[in-house]
Structure 1
Amino acid sequence: MDQLNVLVSDINSILWGPYCLIPILVGAGIYFTLKLKFVQVKRFFKAVRYGFGDMSLQGEKAGKDGMSSFQSLTTAVAAQVGTGNMAGAATAIACGGPGAIFWMWIAAFFGMATIFVEAVLAQIYKTKDDKGHSVGGPAYYISKGLGSKALAGFFAVTIILALGFIGNMVQANSIADSFYTAFGIPPFVIGLLVAAFVGFIFLGGVSRLAYTTEKMVPLMAVLYIIGAVIVMVIHIDQLIPAFKMIFVGAFDPMAATGGVIGASIKEAMRYGVARGLFSNEAGMGSTPHAHAIAKVKYPAQQGLVAIIGVFFDTFVVLNMTAFVILMTGALGTDPNAVPQGIALTQKAFTIGLGPLGSTFVAVCLFFFAGSTILSWSFFGEQNIKYLFGTKAVRPYKLVIIVFLVLGSVLKVDLVWNLADFFNGIMVLPNIIALFALGKFVSMALDEFNREVK
């Protein structure tokens, strides 16, 4: 098993390295930014208006025809804002230095154009399942747009494995570990509670999912932002030095931390871009499943809403984690004692909030990872429908519940690596479709610009 873990880890270092997915995803973002004439800048304020125009904690009930634009946004954001925002930012800083955050910003800026393309294609090619419910996503625009059922099937299988099964296991494990650390509750007990919570929501269908995410996402975001802002206000004198560390570290990582993080520019760029893309999911083919079933008049309208998801994920929530870590001095001065991943985030909030910090991180992680499990399970369901029809949905949901309990008690180094691997290979068919069908996105944006003043 250890040999398999090493093998998968080595493959991932290539797959998510500077010569494979990173240039592919960033290159796609740059290409679509230019092709769509900086849509993420020119239409940003309109995107905000569409994203939050029908915002409500008690919105209309989702049904066969889909959900509201805001409910689709919160379902997408539930997937994007997860453990990656708490652990991913910390990992990037610990491995690539503070300058990694600058490269996260760059990846997110261009990623907003990529996710616009994904959401528009999901709207153009959405369809109905055999019970009349709206469905859509990359498998549908690959099979209908490209005419390749083989490529669509490959994508569907990889996303079911990456998110529905393996990814959800590690999310459950993250919740169980944090609650054991904060409260001493046995992981198996937390696994049962998470499985019960997810099962109750998930078995209730799309209406219960939309009802939950439209409330859970705003509340969890507000909770985390308030906690982070309190810490930042306490250490407000470190705000300018934190910005300096980020900008200096982007081009001279050693100078930014006095050698505490022995990273190079290459490592700062690699970890910043890789963890940023992994967090906001632009180009990976996950969030289009939520945007496909939004009830909007123009496909480009939901594309603009999708832009807000990436902006909120990176420039708001992920930045909160980054600045709390940098402003509290959680990196320390010993190069051999820099905590990794979520441990660095926990240390930063403990410095800022005292003993309450550990509890705060555990509670936030429950909301973040719990909401991600809901959305990822839903994304997998859309692909189960594509492969097997609606008859396979209930067995899939029951398997998800079992995997959540197992995930809470397993040692998940291999499982994390497998999730990274399947996340990586599902990008490839999606990116092929985005480039091949991009002309239809341009046409949809032109139509939107003509019709909507």
Structure 2
Amino acid sequence: MSVIVDFVNNILWGQGQILLFMLVLCGVWFTFKLGMIQFRHFGHMFSILKGGTKSDAQGISSFQALCTSLSARVGTGNLAGVAIAISVGGPGAVFWMWVIALLGMATGFAESVLGQLYKVKDENGEFRGGPAYYIKQGLNNSWLAIAFSLCLFFGYGFVFSAVQANTITDAINNAYGIPPLNTGLVIIVLASFIVVGGLRSIARFAEWVVPFMGVTYILVALFITISNISLLPGVLSDIINSAFGLKEAAGGTLAAALKAGIQRGLYSNEAGSGSVPHAAASATPYPNHPVSQGYVQMLGVFFDTIVLCTCTAFIILLAGEFNGDNVEGIRMTQNAMNSHLGAGGADFVAAAICFFSFTSVVANYAYGESNLRIFKIDNKVGKSLYTIGYLAMILWGSMAALPKVWAMADMALGLMTVINVIAIVLMTPTIVSISKDYFKKHKSNEKVEYKAGDCEIQGKSEDGIW
């Protein structure tokens, strides 16, 4: 398994660097095709959320969909992932995380619009969707849809939850000396109580926990930044200079900074990977148009990387904690927090990673469950087998070696991303067409609502959805 993982990652992330080029070019492509939507309509992202708390029997609310996607996004990538990026690529990796996030906002918009447009209803009459569905309905390509679903099952259904569990147990062990197995068992019990209620239970959990943990973490980061405000210009200078290889620091060459920033930035915000469309598809949007969910999920990319990852980066860099030779993951963040807050720093990070990563664990389950219908196993037996495998991987991840777990996560995410990026680029005409439909209706002050046939799309959405 290690040989296979290393071989695939070398093609995707290593010497081949396929994903680095694909993601950057995809972000540039949709930024151009959608008229720099992430900059021109920046304020509109926030206004969409004003009515986004409404839900119905068919779908969760737009706000719940945002919180669900954020609960999957916000996790190890924001705390351990940023630390790894800085350790490997130097401070300049932070700059490239920003770049991939700004470009990724357009990509996230595109894939979320498709997720909404081609959503379906499950046996309970609730909305489900994602890349497998828009690949099958929009591109009429069943084998590629199945390939994506298999990658997603491997990634979000199993490996990514193992990564989150690994980071939780390591943080708890570092702070309190509690054995990883014990912490892993607690995670399994708590996750079981939430995921047994399905997507709606997960969405309600995310709706309350994500805003609380996000605001708390930002306030602590602001306090630390203000307390060290005299050091901030030097930190910003290090980020810019290291980003272009103008200053050597802990492996901070241009190539190292670029690769580490994009790789860890993608893992954090997930733009282009095809995960977020599952949450987007589950919502009843407001206004009732697929593009409104594109705006909501575009905001999620901004909040995850530009806001939360930057908070972690400043905490680490203001403490001067990036000059180590080894990838320390969450422990680097804990050490940095200790230098700012004293002995309580490790406790705060341990609590933050528990909240951040645990919400990812339960949201990952929902993404995997959304794809059961593709294999026609969306029934009690199928869900039970999936749940058992999901919980078993959490237990394994809680005790596994960090590099091995991260390598498997990179492979799963990379394979998903390759398939999804190809699909959304092929579906550019549909994305542009339906976006223009929204822009036109919004500009003319008419009711912004989408009905089947309002604009030309590839393939066909499911009957009765629109």
Same fold (TM over 0.5): yes
User: Do the aligned partners of 2:92 and 2:252 also contact (CA within 8 Å) in 1?
Assistant: no
Change (3 A) 1:194 1:102: same
User: Do the aligned partners of 2:224 and 2:315 also contact (CA within 8 Å) in 1?
Assistant: yes
4+ residue runs of structure 1 moved beyond 4 angstroms?
none
Q: Work out which of the residue numbers 347, 352, 357 in structure 1 matches 2:340.
A: 352
Whichever structure has more helix as a proportion of its residues is 1
In structure 2, the partner of 1:171 is 164
> Within 5 Å, which residues of 2 pair with 1:253-332?
253=246, 255=247, 259-296=248-285, 297-332=288-323
Number of residue pairs the alignment of both structures matches? 438
Letter matched to residue 9 of structure 1 = D
User: Do the aligned partners of 1:98 and 1:245 also contact (CA within 8 Å) in 2?
Assistant: yes
Unaligned runs of 5+ in 1: none
**Alpha-carbon deviation of 1:26?**
0.9
In structure 1, the partner of 2:357 is 369
Unaligned runs of 5+ in 2: 444-466
Q: Counterpart of 2:427 in 1: which secondary structure?
A: helix
In structure 2, the partner of 1:111 is 104
Letter matched to residue 12 of structure 1 = N
**Alpha-carbon deviation of 1:63?**
6.0
Question: For the residues of structure 2 that align with 1:171 and 1:222, how far apart are their CA atoms?
Answer: 21
Report whether the alignment pairs 1:385 with 2:373: yes
User: Do the aligned partners of 1:63 and 1:207 also contact (CA within 8 Å) in 2?
Assistant: no
TM-score, normalisation: structure 2:
0.90
In structure 2, the partner of 1:422 is 412
Letter matched to residue 432 of structure 2 = S
Question: For the residues of structure 2 that align with 1:91 and 1:410, how far apart are their CA atoms?
Answer: 18
C-alpha distance after superposition, 1:213-260 (max 9, x if no partner): 01111011112112222222221111111111111111135x2xxx44
Letter matched to residue 416 of structure 1 = W
Percent sequence identity over matched residues? 38
Q: Work out which of the residue numbers 417, 420, 440 in structure 1 matches 2:430.
A: 440
Letter matched to residue 29 of structure 2 = Y
Question: For the residues of structure 2 that align with 1:229 and 1:223, how far apart are their CA atoms?
Answer: 10
> Within 5 Å, which residues of 2 pair with 1:42-81?
42-51=40-49, 53-54=50-51, 64-81=57-74
Question: For the residues of structure 2 that align with 1:102 and 1:442, how far apart are their CA atoms?
Answer: 29
C-alpha distance after superposition, 1:7-63 (max 9, x if no partner): 523431331246301100110010010000001111110111113x146xxx56x66
**Alpha-carbon deviation of 1:154?**
0.6
Question: For the residues of structure 2 that align with 1:63 and 1:413, how far apart are their CA atoms?
Answer: 43
TM-score, normalisation: structure 1:
0.93
Question: For the residues of structure 2 that align with 1:217 and 1:450, how far apart are their CA atoms?
Answer: 34
Question: For the residues of structure 1 that align with 2:402 and 2:321, how far apart are their CA atoms?
Answer: 26
C-alpha distance after superposition, 1:276-305 (max 9, x if no partner): 112111100001000011112111111011
**Alpha-carbon deviation of 1:406?**
2.9
Q: Work out which of the residue numbers 195, 209, 214 in structure 1 matches 2:207.
A: 214
Change (3 A) 1:122 1:409: same
C-alpha distance after superposition, 1:139-161 (max 9, x if no partner): 00001111111100010011111
Question: For the residues of structure 2 that align with 1:229 and 1:13, how far apart are their CA atoms?
Answer: 38
Superposition CA RMSD, Å? 1.7
Question: For the residues of structure 1 that align with 2:9 and 2:117, how far apart are their CA atoms?
Answer: 33
In structure 1, the partner of 2:11 is 14
